[in-house]
Amino acid sequence: YSTFFGGLSCFILSRKKSQPDLISRGSFLMTEVESWSHQCQWNYENKLLLLKAERSYSLGDIPVAEALYQLSINSAREHKFIHEEALAYELFGNFKMENGQSSIGKKHLDTACELYKKWGAYRKVESMTKSTSAELARSSPSSV
C-alpha cells in the first residue's frame, strides 16, 4: 500500500504545495502499480485508475480526471473493495469541491462517509464530517 498511497500523496501535494516535481515521483510509483495490475487486475485496477485520475487532475486535464475517478469507483465497487470505493468517492468529492461543484462534491463526500461507516472506519467519518463542514462554511458566501 505504501506505493499506492505514496503515489496519491505525490499527486495531491504537487497541487496543494505547487510542487510539480512531485508529479514525476507520483508517475514513477504509478508505473509500479501498473505492473502489478498486469499480474492481478482484480486487486489493482481501481488503484491504478485512481492514481491516473489524480495525475490527470495534477496535470490540469479535468475531463480525463473526472472520467477516471468514475472508472475507479466502478472498479472498486465491482471488485467489492468498499474502503477503496470510499477513498475514490472521497477524492472525487474533493475534486468536485475544488472545481466549483460543491453540491456534487458534498454528495460524493457523503457517499464516501457512508461507505467508510459501512467498513467500520468511524474515526475517518468523524474527521471527514468536520472537515467537510468547515470547507462548506468557507465556500459559502458571507451573509454580512
Report which secondary-structure segment, H or E, holds 60: none
Tens digits of residue pLDDT in 38-69:
999 999 999 999 999 999 999 999 999 999 99
Tens digits of residue pLDDT in 1-45:
899 999 999 999 999 999 989 999 999 999 999 999 999 999 999
Q: pTM (2 decimals)?
A: 0.90
Tens digits of residue pLDDT in 66-119:
999 999 999 999 999 999 999 999 999 999 999 999 999 999 999 999 999 999
